Amino acid sequence: MKSVAAIFDIGKTNKKLLLFDEDYCIVDETVERLDETVDEDGFPCEDIDSLSRWVSDRFSEKLVRKEFDIKAVNFSAYGACLVYIDENGSPLTPLYNYLKPFPESLADELYANYGGREKFSIETASPALGSLNSGLQLYRLKKEQPEVFERMKFALHLPQYLSSLISRKYLNEITGIGCHTAMWDFQNDDYHQWFRQEGLERKLPPLARAQKPWYLQQTVVGVGLHDSSAALIPYLLANNEPFLLLSTGTWCISLNPFDQSPLTAAELAQDCLCYLQYTGKPIKASRLFSGYEHDEQVKRIAAHFNWRADEFNTIKYDAKLKKWIEGNFNQGVAPDDLTKGSGFAKRSLEAFTDPSAAYHQLIIDLVNQQFRSTQLVLKEKQVSKLFVDGGFSSNDIYMHLLAGKFRDIEVFAASVAQASAMGAALVIAGYWNSKPVLQSSINLKKYAPPLS
C-alpha cells in the first residue's frame, strides 16, 4: 500500500480531494462542482449540507481503497465564511455568502461604538469589507437572530468545520482568524476588544496551531487552513532568503511574509491588509482587482477587433511595440486610488491599429498599477526574489514588463501544483512523511529585465 496524505481543497467553484504520496506527487484526484442553494433571503450560498455529505462520503471511499494507506487528512478552504453549529455539530443556518451585502446601519453602529471606521480597521488590519469581515457576520447574527446565536455552540470558519466532520473536534485556527475577519488585534496579538466586549469570543472554540494535528485511530487529522495562507507554505519552506509572492487571479495579492510593520491609514485606503501565517506571524499584503479588470477589458478589445478572447493568450511580448506605445500614448492615466482600476477602461480603442497594440497597452497599465500596489508592502524590508503564481505567471507580456519594473529583484514565474493543497499537506508533514520538503516542487522560470 502506498502511504498518502488526503487533502480536501475546497474552493467556491471546485471541490477537490487530492492524495499526495511521500514525494508530494498527486497520485489520485477527485474533482466535483456542487450546486449552490439560497439562504432565507434568496441570496446564493454554498449548500453546506451537500458539501458535508460530499466530504464525508469521499473520505470514506478513499479509506477502503486497498492501494492507499491514508496516514493523514487535512483541509484548505476559502475563508470569510462561518458555519454556526449546535451541540451535535450540525449547522443551524445556511452558509452565508461573504458577498452578501452587509447592512450599512449595523456597520455604522459597530464602528461608532469602537472608535470609528479608520481606527477599527487599523487595529484589526482589515479594510472595511462588509460581510468579507467574518467577525461582522457573527455580530450580525447576534443582532438579527439572537435565538440562533444563543443556541449556537460554536462558530467555525469553513476549513475547521470540514475538519470537524472527520475528527469531531471543534477548534479554531490562526490563518482563518487572521484573514480580514476584523476579529484580531494585530498590535496586541489577541482577539480585539470589540469582539470580546460583544460576547462573540465565547462562541469560538479554542485556538489550535495548524501544525498540531489530532489523531483519529491511525490517521492524523489536521485542523485546516485558509487557502491563501496554505498556498504560501510551499514557498516559505523552500526559501531561506526574503521573498515576495504575487498571487494572481481575479485578485492580485502581493504577500510579504517578511514585513511585520503595522498598517497605516493610507495603506488601508489603498486596499492593504494583514494576514497571519500558520506560525502566527503577520503577513503584509496589498490587493488589486486586476484579474477581473483584465478579463473585462479583453472582452472589450475582442469585441472591437472581432477577435476571440482566447486569441490574446497567443500574443508575445514585443519590445518595439511597447516602445512605440509609450511614445505615442499617455501613460499617466491610472487614478491615484488603487481601488479604482488601471485607467485602461477610459482609453478609446479607436486609437489602436490592431488588437496586439491595444492588449500591450492594457498589460502596461495593469503592470504600472501592480508596481505601485506591490511597493506598498516592500517598504519595510527589501526582498531578493519576487515569485508570481496564478494566471498572470503564464502571460509573457505581463512577466517581461514586471521584470522591467522590479530591476533590483529577481522575478520568477512560479507554479506549485495545487499550491493550497500542497501547503495543507506540508504543514503536518512531520506526522506522516519522513522525507524532506523538495524545492523542486516549485517550478520556476526567471525573467530578466527587458533592454528597453
- Residues 203 and 105 placed together within one structural domain of the fold: yes
Reduce the DSSP state of residue 274 to 3 states and report it.
strand
- Residues 305 and 386 placed together within one structural domain of the fold: yes
- Residues 311 and 198 placed together within one structural domain of the fold: no
Neighbours of 338 (CB within 10 A): 22
What is the signed CA dihedral for 312, 313, 318, 322, rounded to 10 degrees?
A: 50
- Residues 379 and 253 placed together within one structural domain of the fold: yes
Measured in whole angstroms, the distance separating CA 451 from the mean position of its chain's CA atoms is 34
Residues of the chain above pLDDT 90, percent: 78
Among 249, 291, 258, smallest CA distance to 409 is for 258
Beta strands in 210-313 (DSSP E): 214-216, 219-221, 225-226, 243-248, 252-256, 272-276, 282-288
pLDDT tens-digit map of 36-72: 999 999 999 999 999 999 999 999 999 999 999 999 9
- Residues 139 and 257 placed together within one structural domain of the fold: no
Task: Quote the pLDDT of residue 439.
Answer: 59
pLDDT tens-digit map of 261-312: 888 888 988 889 999 999 998 899 999 999 999 999 999 999 999 999 999 9
Residue 345, pLDDT above cutoff 80:
yes
Compute CA distances 153 → 40, 88, 221, 395, whole Å.
Answer: 21, 9, 22, 47
Q: What is the DSSP letter of 101?
A: P
Task: Quote the pLDDT of residue 381.
Answer: 63
Segment 109-131 shows an average pLDDT of: 95
Grid cell, residue 228, equals 491563501
Measured in whole angstroms, the distance separating CA 274 from the mean position of its chain's CA atoms is 12
Q: 223, 254, 289: which is the final residue of a domain?
A: 223
- Residues 205 and 86 placed together within one structural domain of the fold: yes
More confident residue, 439 or 77: 77
Residue 380, pLDDT above cutoff 60:
no
pTM score: 0.86
Residue 435, pLDDT above cutoff 90:
no
Count: domains in the chain = 2
Q: What is the DSSP letter of 316?
A: P
Q: 171, 198, 223: which is the final residue of a domain?
A: 223
Residue 182, pLDDT above cutoff 60:
yes
- Residues 53 and 72 placed together within one structural domain of the fold: yes
How deeply is 13 buried, as exposed, middle or buried, from its count of CB atoms within 10 A (0-12, 13-18, 19+)?
Answer: exposed
Query: What is the extent of the structural domain holding 108?
Result: 2-223
Q: Which residue has the cell 476579529?
A: 183
Q: 158, 188, 223: which is the final residue of a domain?
A: 223
- Residues 263 and 406 placed together within one structural domain of the fold: yes
Q: What angle do CA 180, 181, 183 make, to 5 degrees?
A: 125
Count Cβ neighbours within 10 Å for each residue of 389-412 and write b for 16 or more, e otherwise: bbbbbebbbbbbbbbbbbeebbbb
Task: Quote the pLDDT of residue 451.
Answer: 72
pLDDT tens-digit map of 386-433: 999 988 999 999 999 999 999 999 999 998 888 899 999 999 999 999
- Residues 344 and 405 placed together within one structural domain of the fold: yes
- Residues 190 and 234 placed together within one structural domain of the fold: no
CATH code of 293's domain:
3.30.420.40
Residue 189, pLDDT above cutoff 70:
yes
- Residues 350 and 437 placed together within one structural domain of the fold: yes
Residue 337, pLDDT above cutoff 80:
yes
pLDDT tens-digit map of 237-250: 888 889 999 989 88
Task: Quote the pLDDT of residue 263.
Answer: 87
- Residues 154 and 278 placed together within one structural domain of the fold: no
